[in-house]
Amino acid sequence: MSSHLNIPRSASAVESSLVIHHILEAGVRKAPDQTITYGDRTFTYRDLNERVHRLAGALAAQGVKPGDTVAVMDWDTNRYLEAFFAIPMMGAVLHTVNVRLSPEQILYTINHAQDDAILVNSEFLPILEELKDRIEPVKTYILLDDDGVKASDSLPLAGEYEELLAKAPAQYDFPELDENTRATTFYTTGTTGLPKGVYFSHRQLVLHTFAGRNTMSGVGQ
């Protein structure tokens, strides 16, 4: 008769939770000087890590806390990447606003998601200025400026993104999160009726990242 030995796993074999923080941490640890380029802006993973920490500190200084929802209205910039890490790593939820929706649909998604703050590219300020009297929950607006715009005639801007990051500490104490914590939300298009909200947890995003990496590297093919 065979016997089964109950051998404890070593500390190195303990599974780590699938949270977004570990993706950023791995990049910084393994390739701190690897560069990332967005248009004419180039950063190392070390730079990215510091900017993520600074963004979290800047958002916390504006009252953002775990469980809040922070919307981003921007093009594909380094700021979006920074927000994609910093906001979920704080325990908040990133709402990726589809800027190609109609103003009425954008208003619906902002109110339905109950956004507490919005990071908005200056290009999209006119949309929010038009909708401002019907935007229900938002407490904070932060400007993402590419065109020298520093103010809004009607929105109470808390500040400009780069200026707020410059004032924030280079280190932020991120909380330990359960991997099933809600990380992001977005709204589907092309459906009947109003846009439909979809959520992803940290675990789902990390698994999607692993799957994407394996596909691009040819693993399993």
Note the pLDDT tens digit of each residue in 65-92.
999 999 999 999 999 999 999 999 999 9
Least confident of 2-6, 93-97, 123-127: 2-6
Note whether 36 and 54 are within 8 A (CB): no
End-to-end CA distance of the chain: 41
* CB-based contact 55:106 (threshold 8 Å): no
Structure tokens at 77: 């910039």
Residue 130 has pLDDT above 50, yes or no: yes
pLDDT at 5 exceeding the cut of 80: no
Kindly state the tokens that stand for 132.
Answer: 């401002």
Q: Does the pLDDT of residue 50 top 90, yes or no?
A: yes
Sketch the domain layout of the chain as residue ranges: 18-216
Tens-place pLDDT, residues 141-194: 999 998 888 889 899 999 999 999 999 999 999 999 999 999 999 998 867 788
pLDDT score of 161: 97
Q: What does 46-113 look like in DSSP terms, one character per residue?
A: HHHHHHHHHHHHHHHHTT--TT-EEEEE--SSHHHHHHHHHHHHTT-EEEE--TTS-HHHHHHHHHHH
Res. 61: pLDDT tops 50: yes
Q: What are phi and psi of 11, to 5 degrees?
A: -60, -35
Return d(Cα 86, Cα 212) in angstroms, integer: 21
Is residue 214 very low, low, confident or very high in pLDDT (cuts 50, 70, 90)? Answer: low
User: What's the CATH number for 18-216?
Assistant: 3.40.50.12780
How far is it, in rounded angstroms, from Cα 192 to Cα 20?
33
Structure tokens at 45: 């993973």
Whether pTM exceeds 0.85: yes
User: In this predicted model, what pLDDT tens digit does every residue of 8-42 receive, in sequence order?
Assistant: 544 554 456 899 988 899 889 999 999 999 888 99
